Each structure stands twice: as C-alpha cells, then as structure tokens.
Amino acid sequence: MTAVHERRPRVAHSGFIRWVFISLNLGLSRLTWLHDWLPTRMRESLLIGWNDEMRREAFRSMGKRMYLDVPCELPLPKKLAPLCETEPEYRFESEQLRDFYVKGWAGPFDLLSKGEAASLREIVEEVRTTRTSSVYALGEGHTAATAGPLSVEAVEECVNTRDRHLDCPELWELFHRPEIVERLAQFLGPDLLVWRSQFFNKDPGKPATHWHAASCYVADSLTMPALIPREVNELFQITVWIALDDVDRDNGCLLFIPGSQKQFRPMRVANLDEPRQAWWHGPGVQSDHPYAYPHPIPKEAFEAGHVEAVPMKAGQFLLFSERCIHGAGPNVTRDRRRLGINFRVLRGDVAVNKALDGSDLLYNDFSSTRTRFDLKNWGVGELKGCSRVPNRVSKGPETGIHLKPTGQFDG
Ligand SMILES: O=C(O)CCC(=O)C(=O)O
C-alpha cells in the first residue's frame, strides 16, 4: 500500500447523497485487500483512520453529525503531581496542575525581555518574508496552489510560516529554553518532541481565527490521524503560543472555551467540501458546543465565563491543550499588528505522520488549503529526552534530517 493517504474526501453537498458517499467510503475503507487495486485518487480519499465510534456516528446521523477527530476524553488525573522533577523556579503546585486540567490552558508565563522579544520579532519577520523555506517547497510533487481556494501568495505564506524551527537556529534555540521545556515536562513527562510550529501574524483589519480543536487529526486531514498516541484518553500533546507583540482583545488575543477539552464532541456538518474543523463557523462544519458562539462573540459570553480571552505581553507564552476549543478575535485596531509563534509538543511515545502499516507518510495534504507538503525534510525534534517510538527525528537546523535506526528506540 502506498504511504500517501492524506487527501481530502470528495463528498456531495446534499445530506442524503453525502451519507451514501460516506457509507460507501467507510465500507470500502475496511476492505483493505482491495485498496491496491483502486485508482490513486479514490484510495487517497478513503477514511481509513476512522474507528468504529466515528463510523457509527456518521452512519446513524445520516452524515449530519460526525466526529472529525478521534472521540476522546481528558479526565483529571488521579494523582496531580508533576511527571518530571524540575528546578524550583519552574515547579507547578498541584493547584496549578489542576487548573490546567480544569480550564485547558496555563499561563501566561514570562520568557523574553522586551528587547529580546523585539529582536526575535525582527528575525521572524525576516524569515517569514525573505528567507525561503528549506523545509517545504512548492513545485514538483505539490498540489498546484491555484487548484485550491487560496491564492499562490497565500500558499507561499503558508509554506514560509510553517516548521521553520527546522531551518532557523534562533527558533530551535528558543523552543529549547528551560522556561518552556521544564514546564512542559511536568505535564508530559521526561521525553518531549516538537513536531510542528507556525507563525501567526494578524495585521490590523484581519478577521477572527474561528473556533477549532483537535486531538489526533491535527494535520488538517480527514482520512488519517497525524498522531498515534499510546492512550488517547490522556494528555499527550500541548501547544505553546509565544506572543511577539502585546496582545489583547482588540488586536486578536487567543480565546478559549474553558473545560471544552474534557470531551471531544461530534460536529454538525452541512457541507464537507468546506474546509474541515479548522473553520467551525463557516457554512460547512459547526461545533455543537453550546458556548462556541459565532464571531463577534457577545460580551455576555465573556462576563459569564463561557469564553475566556487571554491577553499577553510581548515575550510571554501560554501552554494549552489543542483539544480545548480555541480561536482568536479579529484585529480591530488601526495600527497594532499581532504576531505570535506556536509550536506543538508531544510525549516521546507518540508516533507522528505514520501510515496504517507503520511506514512513514511521504506527504501531508492540507484539506483547508488543498496544499501538499512533502515530508522529506521533516522530522520530530527532541526537546528533552528522546523519541520512544520509531519516528523520523530531526537533529535541528544545523544537521538536517537523520532517521534513527529502529534499534535505538526502547519504547
Ligand atoms: O494565533 C491564532 O490566531 C491561532 C492559534 C492557534 O489556533 C493555535 O496555536 O493552535
């Protein structure tokens, strides 16, 4: 079987016809002996990563409600203690650990001085706008940008803003700072992997980032999960978001629905041809979470604590579970840009970008931009400890990709 699976399924708009297509797709996706005989396009559309609960929900609701990620829960751990010993200055009290599990995020924490944040902002601006990415490229092997809903420039921006810790030493160093790593380790344990990063620039006048959340299907594909954790009902991923400008409600700080990480809910689906859960308040897919208000979010939602906004100073960072429903407001200022960097961190025993047979995926296809990312220069970075399962491992910008032989993994 080919290792290329991540293509967006083509489904029709009408509910009944969509249901028939999805049922056929789900049936066919189980007949694995047949897959090698199918046309590539059809094979790559199969929802082969879906489990029984995901299939059942889509079938039972006739395609109107679907889990667009693995159904899972994130209960409060029985014992609230750091999973890793650390310096006293970074150590969390059990109340702080509890707070993370109750709300879905922790922070903001101090990281950079004003001067350091300003220098980093300059570097990020330069990387984003002038240094061509050596991690991903558009061209041969990539879906033509013009075939998707985004312009060529927008797709270039998408390529240039993604995973630059793999070719930018300043970011690699930043992500390894003890202020971040030592805090992450208390939630995720002694082995930490960074597998993705992205710049998030919001110029004055730019719209809101709509509500979204993810667990295993984080790479914007419906067919296959990008992450395979040891146990889906525990915390295996945390996103770090670093502010490079002062951010507040006016220029689009992050917004969260506290507690929404506790249970992953199905989505209401009107039209799956719309980009998937990244845009829950587009016409296609909507969260059925009672507090996932469409933008502009009413002020009562903030007052009642259903939605929480997290203002930050430039140089601070936030930790959050990607399962907690989050987004960001529009930038309604005239002259205050909002620049942030995120990176996503995993426990060392999570397998990333694998096909069902355990082989490495060659590409990530992003359904929302219809862009194909060639993974040949991609690997997880070891922030602390090491990968405990056979992932492709990058040793950082200076050394390029180096694939660990399987014998070196003791997971
Ligand atoms: O910065 C934003 O607007 C969105 C960030 C986000 O969704 C994330 O870091 O997961």
Q: Other CB atoms closer than 10 Å to residue 73's CB: what's the count?
A: 12
Structure tokens at 16: 């009944």
Q: What is the pLDDT of residue 10?
A: 42
Q: Is 342 in the pocket of ligand 1 (CB under 6 A)?
A: yes
Q: Is 211 in the pocket of ligand 1 (CB under 6 A)?
A: no
Task: Please state the atom number of ligand 1 nearest to the C-alpha of residue 342.
Answer: 9
Confidence at 271, pLDDT banded by 50, 70, 90? low
Task: Please state the atom number of ligand 1 nearest to the C-alpha of residue 202.
Answer: 3
**How many whole angstroms separate alpha carbon 119 and alpha carbon 109?**
19
Q: What is the pLDDT of residue 150?
A: 61
Task: Please state the atom number of ligand 1 nearest to the C-alpha of residue 241.
Answer: 9
Q: Which pTM does this prediction carry? A: 0.90
Mean pLDDT, the chain, rounded, equals: 85
Percentage of the chain modeled with pLDDT above 90: 51
Reply yes or no: is the peptide bond before residue 397 cis, omega within 30 of 0.
Answer: no
Structure tokens at 402: 């180096």
Nearest CA to ligand 1 atom 9: 342
**How many whole angstroms separate alpha carbon 121 and alpha carbon 339?**
8
Closest listed residue to residue 8, CA positions, set 16, 21, 20: 21
Mean pLDDT over 29-57 rounds to: 85
Structure tokens at 95: 């109340």
Phi, psi of 147 (to 5 degrees): -75, -15
Q: Which residues of 93-110 are buried (b: 16+ CB within 10 A; e: fewer)?
A: eeeebeebbebbbbbbbe
Q: Is 237 in the pocket of ligand 1 (CB under 6 A)?
A: no
Q: Of residues 132 and 215, which shows the higher confidence score?
A: 215
Q: Is 328 in the pocket of ligand 1 (CB under 6 A)?
A: yes
Over the stretch 161-216, which tens digit does the pLDDT of each residue have? 999 999 999 999 999 999 999 999 999 999 999 999 999 999 999 999 888 888 99
Task: Please state the atom number of ligand 1 nearest to the C-alpha of residue 322.
Answer: 10
Task: Please state the atom number of ligand 1 nearest to the C-alpha of residue 340.
Answer: 1
Closest listed residue to residue 258, CA positions, set 105, 55, 61, 41: 105
Over the stretch 300-336, which tens digit does the pLDDT of each residue have? 999 999 999 999 999 999 999 999 999 999 999 999 9
Q: Is 321 in the pocket of ligand 1 (CB under 6 A)?
A: no
Reply yes or no: is the peptide bond before residue 207 cis, omega within 30 of 0.
Answer: no
Q: Is 239 in the pocket of ligand 1 (CB under 6 A)?
A: yes
Over the stretch 81-125, which tens digit does the pLDDT of each residue have? 999 999 999 999 999 999 999 999 999 999 999 999 999 999 999
CA of 200 to the centre of ligand 1 (A): 7
Q: Of residues 216 and 286, which shows the higher confidence score?
A: 216
Q: What is the pLDDT of residue 2?
A: 31
Q: Is 394 in the pocket of ligand 1 (CB under 6 A)?
A: no
Q: What is the pLDDT of residue 32?
A: 85
Mean pLDDT over 67-93 rounds to: 92
Q: Could you tell me which residues come within 8 angstroms of residue 88 by beta carbon, excluding any fewer than 6 positions away?
A: none
Nearest CA to ligand 1 atom 7: 327
CA of 214 to the centre of ligand 1 (A): 12
Task: Please state the atom number of ligand 1 nearest to the C-alpha of residue 252.
Answer: 3
Phi, psi of 311 (to 5 degrees): -70, 150
Which residue do the tokens 């960001």 mark? 328
Task: Please state the atom number of ligand 1 nearest to the C-alpha of residue 212.
Answer: 7
Considering the domain 70-408, what is its CATH architecture?
Sandwich (2.60)
Percentage of the chain modeled with pLDDT above 70: 83
CA of 326 to the centre of ligand 1 (A): 8
Q: Is 209 in the pocket of ligand 1 (CB under 6 A)?
A: yes
Nearest CA to ligand 1 atom 8: 342
Q: At what angle do helices 52-60 and 15-30 cross, to 10 degrees?
A: 150
Q: Is 200 in the pocket of ligand 1 (CB under 6 A)?
A: yes
Contact 297, 307 (CB under 8 A): yes
DSSP type of residue 70: -
Stretch (H or E) spanning 118: helix 114-129
Contact 219, 49 (CB under 8 A): no
Task: Please state the atom number of ligand 1 nearest to the C-alpha of residue 209.
Answer: 3
DSSP type of residue 83: S
Q: Is 329 in the pocket of ligand 1 (CB under 6 A)?
A: no
Phi, psi of 209 (to 5 degrees): -95, 115
**How many whole angstroms separate alpha carbon 37 and alpha carbon 33?**
8
Contact 359, 324 (CB under 8 A): no
CA of 1 to the centre of ligand 1 (A): 34
How far, in whole angstroms, is CA 26 from its chain's centroid? Answer: 25
Closest listed residue to residue 210, CA positions, set 267, 166, 172, 156: 267
Q: What is the pLDDT of residue 364?
A: 80
Closest listed residue to residue 175, CA positions, set 129, 239, 83, 123: 239
- Indicate the burial class of 241 (C-beta count within 10 angstroms; 0-12, 13-18, 19 or more): buried
CA of 284 to the centre of ligand 1 (A): 20
Query: Of 43-47, 68-72, 364-368, which range is least confident?
Result: 364-368
